[in-house]
Structure 1
Amino acid sequence: MAREQHPDITEAIVRERRLHDPAVRLSRPLAEALFDPEFIEVGASGRRWTHAEMIAALPELHGGEDGPPIEAGEFTGAVLAPGIVHLTYETVIDGRRARRSSVWRRDPDGVLRLYYHQGTPVPEPEE
């Protein structure tokens, strides 16, 4: 019998998927609504991104209007504490796979926002 998923995990997955939507990536107000003001990312490249840097760059990054789409799947999640959700999932962007980890936290108004994100490239299989 399948275990029912915690509603906070479901909400975090929905919000994570919204970040992959080109319309959101191209709209500063829509993107701002999803990011915690203290957001930090360690990208698959190893680059560290701040909130301001990410919001400014988001329209030009993968998943934007002209870039390759973000294919995401295999989402799993855990509630670490009340209002704190950890998600893991995998993406394929332009043929490159990455494993991803996100931490979402509720702000004082009760809105779940992306606090931390990290991407790790998956090496190509050796032949």
Structure 2
Amino acid sequence: MGAPITQDDLDIVRDCERALLTGAVRGDRLSAGLLLHPEYREFGKSGRVWDKESVLDLMEDTSELVQIRAEDLETVPLGDDVVLVTYDSVTPQARAHRSSLWVRESGRWQVRFHQGTAVPAA
């Protein structure tokens, strides 16, 4: 069994999730790569399935265009060493519901799974 989740853990995961939305982290393959689990998988709002390398390539290519805001971000412990993050991502072009599953391995938090679901325009 892992360690119980503390408020400090929830704050760290929240900060890490927000960091992945910034151009500074997205444009730095090493920094972004440290936050993504080796077996990272994403179901994008487009329906495309991403792995760690493909999402790092995308982040690197589009980091200068990033204008992503997280609204209503919540963190929920799901068990020892596992946190669910949910929020809406908002860009000038679109809004999406987002969820990320973060795991703590070897003392470090990494996102293991992420999903985006497009929100239809009003």
Higher share of residues assigned helix: 2
- The letter of the residue matching 1:123 is P
- After TM superposition, the runs of 4+ consecutive aligned structure 1 residues lying more than 6 A away are none
Counterpart of 1:111 in structure 2 is 108
TM-score, length of structure 2 as denominator length: 0.90
Output one character per residue of 1:80-106: Cα deviation in whole Å (capped at 9) or x when no partner.
Answer: 111100010011112311110000001
Percent sequence identity is: 34
Counterparts of 2:60 and 2:69 in 1: how far apart (Å)? 17
- Larger of the two Rg values belongs to structure: 1
> How many Å apart are 1:68 and its aligned residue?
4.2
- The Cα offsets for residues 9-41 of structure 1, whole Å up to 9 and x where unpaired, read as 221110001111111111111111110001000
* TM norm structure 1: 0.86
Equivalent in the alignment of 1:101: 99
Distance 1:52 1:113 in 2: 15
Between the aligned partners of 1:34 and 1:115, the Cα distance in structure 2 is 9
| Equivalent residues of 2:23, 2:66 under 8 A apart | no
Number of the residue aligned with 2:10 = 9
RMSD of aligned Cα (Å): 1.3
Give the Cα separation in 2 of the matches to 1:113 and 1:12: 8
Count of aligned pairs: 117
Aligned 1:1-127 pairs, distance under 5 A: 6-61=7-62, 64-65=63-64, 67-107=65-105, 109-125=106-122
8 Å contact kept, 2:34–2:110? yes
Q: Secondary structure at the match of 1:33?
A: helix
